[in-house]
Amino acid sequence: MGRMDYINASPVYYGLNNGLLPSWITMTDGPPAVLNAMILKGDLAISPISSGFYGRHHRDLLVLPDLSISCDGPVLSVILMGNYPIEDLDGKKVVLTEDSATSALLVRLLFAEHGVAPVIVTGRMRTPEDIPGDADAVLVIGDAALTQPWDDCFPLRMDLGSLWHKKTGMPFVFALWVVRRDYAELYPDRVAEALRLFHLSRQQGYENIEAVIDRGVGKLRLPRSLIECYYQVLFCDLDRPKIQALEHFFERLYTDKLFTERVKVELFQP
């Protein structure tokens, strides 16, 4: 299994990190982009991945029910920092973090729907030292978005969760938990048990949310009030409105020619 090393996934892994993990499961930590590559190669059977990466490789993967990293408004940890608003970035240099597929697709979609064509490059974007001198905007995600002083580098902070919600009125799904189709066909009982453990682990996480918050404060060295707010705007379920929002995102990517085919979310059925 893969384990996302950002604090946004901490509620889902709380129980597994505190006694629920059985001996037959091995965990591998990494940012979304690393886990994306590992599950595609077959190095992982089950993992959280970028939802946009699922859209590109949906024929090889099944979505585990009722698990995601989502928001319904601001998300706080997926931000476009810039010198100009999105509609004024035509021809300007924009650097997208290499650590996520979904956020990069969402930014490209927003550019397309505003009719602007920036000069887009992808690279490491984890501290202000990573910003090229000629960049007019950068996309940063995860713990780096919360902890680094990006506001010292750019005047505008654009929260992608808020931008999407303002445009559509819908939630946004940044990450999903998936299983490789070939593994699910060979070992359906293992996958069903892993899914049960994930749901129980998440339940324990929310029952012990104060401990989850304490861990986030300790890891990121941020004010407790900010970490509390962060967990209030994040959701780790995947209900029908979120699935519909995800399919709407995929359809718009197809319409704007960022996807080559239409995508419907397919769930693993225990």
Rg of the Cα trace of the chain?
18
Assess if residue 265 is contained within a domain: no
Final residue in a domain of this structure, among 137, 168, 199? 168
pLDDT for the residue numbered 216? 95
What band does 40 get if pLDDT is binned at 50, 70 and 90?
A: very high
Q: Are residues 67 and 94 in the same domain?
A: no
What pLDDT does 183 receive? 98
- Across the range 34-45, mean pLDDT stands at 96
At residue 13, the pLDDT reads 97
At 5, is the pLDDT very low, low, confident or very high (cuts 50, 70, 90)? confident
| Domains identified in the chain, total number | 2
pLDDT of residue 90: 96
Do 13 and 63 lie in one domain? The reply is yes
Mean pLDDT of the chain: 95
* Same-domain status, 62 and 179: yes
Q: pLDDT-based confidence at 100, cuts 50/70/90?
A: confident
Read off the pLDDT band of 157 (50, 70, 90).
Answer: very high
Q: Indicate whether 21 and 63 sit together in one domain.
A: yes
Q: Are residues 15 and 93 in the same domain?
A: no
93 has pLDDT over 80? yes
Are 184 and 62 part of one and the same domain?
yes
- pLDDT at residue 113 tops 90: no
Q: What is the mean pLDDT of residues 77-104?
A: 93
Q: What is the mean pLDDT of residues 255-262?
A: 94
* 178 and 142 housed in the same domain: no
In a 10 Å sphere around its CB, with 0-12 CB exposed, 13-18 middle and 19+ buried, how is residue 222 labelled?
middle
In DSSP notation, the chain reads -EEE-SGGGHHHHHHIIIII--TT---EEE-HHHHHHHHHHTS-SEEEEEHHHHHHTGGGEEEEEEEEEEESS--SSEEEEESS-GGG-TTSEEEEETT-SHHHHHHHHHHHHHT---EEEEE--SSGGGS-TT-SEEEEEHHHHHHS-GGGT-SEEEEHHHHHHHHHS--EEEEEEEEEHHHHHH-HHHHHHHHHHHHHHHHHHHHTHHHHHHHHHHHH---HHHHHHHHHHEE----HHHHHHHHHHHHHHHHTTSSSS-----B---
Q: Range with the lowest mean pLDDT among 46-55, 99-108, 221-230, 236-245?
A: 99-108
Last residue of some domain: 123, 139, 168? Answer: 168
Neighbouring C-beta atoms of residue 124, cutoff 10 Å: 11
Q: Which of 168, 202, 234 is the endpoint of a domain? A: 168
> Residue 120: which domain range?
78-168
Using a cut of 0.85, tell me whether the model's pTM lies above it: yes
Q: Are residues 176 and 243 in the same domain?
A: yes
Same-domain status, 49 and 94: no
What pLDDT sits at residue 31? 86
* 85's tokens: 């608003």
Q: Give pLDDT, residue 33.
A: 86
Q: What is the mean pLDDT of residues 109-136?
A: 93
Q: Classify residue 103: in a domain, yes or no.
A: yes
Higher pLDDT, 13 or 100: 13
Considering the domain boundaries, does residue 249 fall inside one?
A: yes
